[in-house]
Structure 1
Amino acid sequence: MIIEKSCISDLSAHMELYHKAIAFQRSVGNANWIGFDDQAVLKEIESELQYKIVIDGKIACVFLLTTSDPIIWKEKDADPAIYIHRIATNPDFRGQNFVKKIIDFVKDLALKEHKTFIRMDTTAGNDRLNDYYKKCGFTIVDTISIQGTADMPTHYQNNLFTLFEMNV
C-alpha cells in the first residue's frame, strides 16, 4: 500500500470513484454527495491537494487534504489543522479501514507541519458514518448549518453537517 499525491493522469480515476461513492451513498439511503466538477478536481490535483492510496498498481482510495476550511470551521479555522475531505473508496477495496490509514498518514504530516488538529466533516444524520469516525478516534465538535454558499460544492448548500476533530 502506497499513499501519494495524485497526478493529472489520475483525474478519470478520481471522478469514477466519486461517481461510485455517490451510487453507494444512494444505495444505503444517504445521498450526501451530488457530484463534482472535473475541472475543480483537476485544479485540486494540480494544487497537490488530492491524494490516492495505491494497492497492487490500482487506485484503492482517494481523498483531499487542505490546511484551511473557513466556510465550515469559521473562527476555528485559525487553529493549526489539516482537514480531510472527500474520501472515496474503490468498491473492490472496501472494508480495509482506509480512514484509519489516512489518519496515520495525516498524523505524520501534521507533526511535520506543526499542526495540532485533524478535522473532517460529513452530512449530519448519517449515524453509521458518524459512529465509524468516532471509532477511528474523532470527536464530534458541532453540528452546523451552511446556507447558500456558492464557493462550496452543491451538497454543502442548505444542509446540516457534523464536524469532527482529533488532537494530533
Structure 2
Amino acid sequence: MIIRNSTEADIPEIFRLYREAAAHQAKVKATVVWPTFERQLVDTEVAENRQWKMVVDGQIACVWVITFEDAQIWEERNSDSAIYIHRIATNPAFRGQNFVIKIVNWAKAYAKSLGKNYVRLDTIGNNIRLIEHYTSAGFDFLGVFNLKNTTGLPEHYQQGPAALFEIKL
C-alpha cells in the first residue's frame, strides 16, 4: 500500500470512484448521495497537492481530499489548527478493507508533521452506520449541526445537517 498525491492523470479515475460512491450511497437508506462534483474543484485540489490516493497492487484503491480550513462547516472551531478530510471514495474492488483506519493513521502522522492539533471530517445527515464507522476508526463524534451558510459548498450540503468528527492529536 502506497499513499501519495493524486496527479492530473488520476482525475478520470477519481471521478469514476466518485460515481461509484454515489451509486453505493443511493442504495443505502438514510444516506445523502454525492452530487457530480465540478471538474475545476478537483483540478484545483490536485494542483494544490490536497487530493490523495492509496495505491494497492498498482491500482487506485481509495481517494480523499484534505483542506486546512473549513469555516462554513466548522464555524468558530475553524480557528483550531487542523486538517479536514473530505470525499473518501473507495474503489469497489477494494471495499471492506477498512481503508478509513489507514487514512486516519496517515492523517494523524501528516497533521502532526505540519504542527496541526486535530484531524477532522464531516458527513451530511444523521447516518448512524457512518457515525459508528468513523467512531470505530478513532474519531470523536461531536454531534449533528445545522450549517448556517452553505453558499458555495457542494450541493449535498443543502440536504441536511452536518455530523462532525474529530481526533485531537
Give the TM-score taking structure 2 as reference length. Answer: 0.95
Identify the residue that residue 11 of structure 1 maps to in structure 2: 11
Asked if 1 retains the 8 angstrom alpha-carbon contact of 2:32 and 2:124, the reply is no
Identify the residue that residue 35 of structure 1 maps to in structure 2: 36
Give, in whole Å, the separation in 2 of the partners of 1:57 and 1:158. Answer: 36
Percent identity, aligned pairs only, is 42
Asked if 2 retains the 8 angstrom alpha-carbon contact of 1:81 and 1:115, the reply is yes
Residue 124 of structure 1 pairs with residue 125 of structure 2: yes
Please tell me the residue identity of whatever aligns with 1:77.
N
Please tell me the residue identity of whatever aligns with 2:19.
H
Give, in whole Å, the separation in 1 of the partners of 2:159 and 2:14. Answer: 26
Asked if 1 retains the 8 angstrom alpha-carbon contact of 2:32 and 2:156, the reply is no
After superposition, where does 1:75-94 map in structure 2 within 5 Å? 75-94=76-95
Change (3 A) 1:32 1:145: farther
Q: Please give the secondary structure, in 1, of the residue aligned with 2:146.
A: strand
Give, in whole Å, the separation in 1 of the partners of 2:56 and 2:6. Answer: 14
Flag structure 1 segments of 5+ consecutive residues without an equivalent.
none
Give, in whole Å, the separation in 1 of the partners of 2:32 and 2:120. Answer: 22
Q: Please give the secondary structure, in 2, of the residue aligned with 1:17.
A: helix
Deviation at 1:35, TM superposition (A): 2.0
Give the TM-score taking structure 1 as reference length. Answer: 0.95
Please tell me the residue identity of whatever aligns with 1:84.
I
Deviation at 1:31, TM superposition (A): 3.4
Give, in whole Å, the separation in 1 of the partners of 2:148 and 2:83. Answer: 24
Give, in whole Å, the separation in 1 of the partners of 2:141 and 2:14. Answer: 28
Deviation at 1:32, TM superposition (A): 2.8
After superposition, where does 1:44-123 map in structure 2 within 5 Å? 44-123=45-124
Flag structure 2 segments of 5+ consecutive residues without an equivalent.
none
Asked if 1 retains the 8 angstrom alpha-carbon contact of 2:122 and 2:164, the reply is yes
Please tell me the residue identity of whatever aligns with 1:164.
F
Identify the residue that residue 151 of structure 1 maps to in structure 2: 152
Q: Please give the secondary structure, in 1, of the residue aligned with 2:144.
A: strand
Q: Please give the secondary structure, in 1, of the residue aligned with 2:73.
A: helix
Give, in whole Å, the separation in 1 of the partners of 2:23 and 2:87. Answer: 14
Deviation at 1:150, TM superposition (A): 2.6
C-alpha RMSD of matched pairs (Å): 1.2
Deviations 1:97-124 (A, max 9, x none): 1110001111111111111111000122
Asked if 1 retains the 8 angstrom alpha-carbon contact of 2:66 and 2:86, the reply is yes
Deviation at 1:158, TM superposition (A): 4.9
Give, in whole Å, the separation in 2 of the partners of 1:61 and 1:34. Answer: 18
Number of paired residues? 168
